[in-house]
Amino acid sequence: MDYVLVTGCAGFIGSHLAKALLSRGYSVVGVDCLTPYYSQKIKQHNLSSLLKNDKFIFVKLDLSVTSIDNLVQLVRKVNVIIHEAAQPGVRSSWGSDFEIYIRYNVLATQKLLEAIAKARSIKRFVYASSSSVYGNVREVPIKEDVYPKPYSPYGVTKLAAENLCRVYFENFGIPTVILRYFTVYGPRQRPDMAFHRFIKSMLRSEPIHIYGDGSQMRDFTYIDDVVNATIRAIEADDVINEVINVGSGSPVKLIDTVNLIADILGIEPKIVFEEEKKGDVRITYADISKARRLLGWKPRTRLKDGLEEEAKWIREAMELGLI
C-alpha cells in the first residue's frame, strides 16, 4: 500500500481526505502550516482524530518558505502526493492580500513540483484546482477544454499553479492529474463559505447576507463525493496529464439553498440582500462526463442530505466553541 503525502491536511478537504485514506489502509504524511485564515481551533480539531492513528504523521511546514532540499527529503518518503494546500477565497484575493495568494498558491506549488522533479520517486501527483479558473463561462455545462478566463485574482493563481503542473509534466515527466473542484460543502466547511454562514446565522437568529439577488447558481459538491473522486484519481489508470471536473452536475440557485436550509432547520431566515461582490461569477455548472469515464466516478449525495450533515456538524461545533 502506498504512502501518501496530503498537503493542507488540517483544512476542510484535506482532513476529510486524510481520514478516508487512512480508513482504506494507506499510510499518510500530512503537511500543514496552519495559516490564520480562519480559526486555529477548527484546524486543530480537524487534526485531533488523525493524530490518534499510528499510520498518520503530521509535519508542520510552510511549503512556500522551506528549502527545496528539505522538500526533496520529505517527498522521498512517499509514493503519492495530493496537493490540497492553498490560500482559499475569491473575495479576499483582491488588493494587497494578493501577495498571500501568490505565496501559498503559486510559489508553494512550484517549490513542491521542483522537489518532486529532483526526487524522481512519485507515482502520482494530484493537484486540487478550482472551478474558479473558468470564470464567467457563457456555455454550460462547462467542459474541461473550455478556454479558462478567471474572474478573480484567486482564480488567476489557481490557473497559474495548473500551468506549473503542466510544464513540470512536460519537462520532467511528473505524473500529474488536475482536479477542478466545484463549490465543496459539508461538515468542517470553512467559516467564510456560504452554507456555513447561512446555517450558523439561522441558528443564531442573525440575518443572512446574500450578495446579489440570489439568482446566481452554483454546482455544490458534497465533501464525501470530492474525497472519493480524489482517491480514484490516485488509483485510476490512464489519467496522467488529464484535467478533470469534480462537481455535482446539478447547479442550484443560491436563494433556493437558503430556503432548503430553512426547511431543514425549521427556522424562518432573515435575508439581507447586498451588492454583488467583485469576482463572483453568475453560474458554475460542471460537465462531469470525463470524471465518469476516466475515474468511474459519479456524485452520490443529494444536496438536502449533505446540508443536513453540515447543519449537524455546525451545531456540534458551536456547542464545542469551535465557531
User: What secondary structure, in 3-state letters, does 131-191 show?
Assistant: HHHCCCCCCCCECCCCCCCCCCHHHHHHHHHHHHHHHHHHHHCCCEEEEEECCEECCCCCC
- CB of 37 closer than 8 Å to CB of 4: no
- CB of 88 closer than 8 Å to CB of 73: no
Residues 258, 252: Cα–Cα separation, whole Å: 11
Closest CA to 19 of 50, 46, 42: 50
Pairing of strands 252-253, 217-218: antiparallel
Looking from the CA of 131 toward its CB, the CA atoms found within 13 Å total 30
pLDDT of residue 156: 98
Range of the domain at 39: 3-319
From start to end of the chain, where are the E strands?
Answer: 3-7, 27-32, 56-60, 80-83, 124-130, 176-181, 184-185, 208-211, 217-218, 221-222, 242-246, 252-253, 271-274
In Å, what is the CA distance from 58 to each residue of 15, 30, 194, 293, 295? 11, 5, 30, 34, 29
Pick the catalytic residue from 154, 181, 185, 285.
154
Count structural domains, the chain: 1
Q: Distance from CA of residue 186 to its chain's centroid?
A: 12
pLDDT tens digits for the chain (323 residues)? 789 999 999 999 999 999 999 999 999 999 999 998 888 999 999 999 999 999 999 999 999 999 999 999 999 999 999 999 999 999 999 999 999 999 999 999 999 999 999 998 899 999 999 999 999 998 999 999 999 999 999 999 999 999 999 999 999 999 999 999 999 999 999 999 999 999 999 999 999 999 999 999 999 999 999 999 999 999 999 999 999 999 999 999 999 999 999 999 999 999 999 999 899 999 999 999 999 999 999 999 999 999 999 999 999 999 999 99
pLDDT of residue 1: 73
Please indicate whether residue 147 is annotated as part of the active site: no
CB burial of 143-179 (b: ≥16 within 10 Å; e: otherwise) equals ebebebebbbbbbbbbbbbbebbbebbeeeebebbbb
pLDDT of residue 210: 95
Q: Distance from CA of residue 109 to its chain's centroid?
A: 15
Residues 291, 183: Cα–Cα separation, whole Å: 16
pLDDT of residue 88: 95
Closest CA to 234 of 291, 182, 181, 177: 177
CATH of the domain at 63: 3.40.50.720
- CB of 180 closer than 8 Å to CB of 130: yes
**Cell triple for 271:** 435575508
**Cell triple for 181:** 473542484
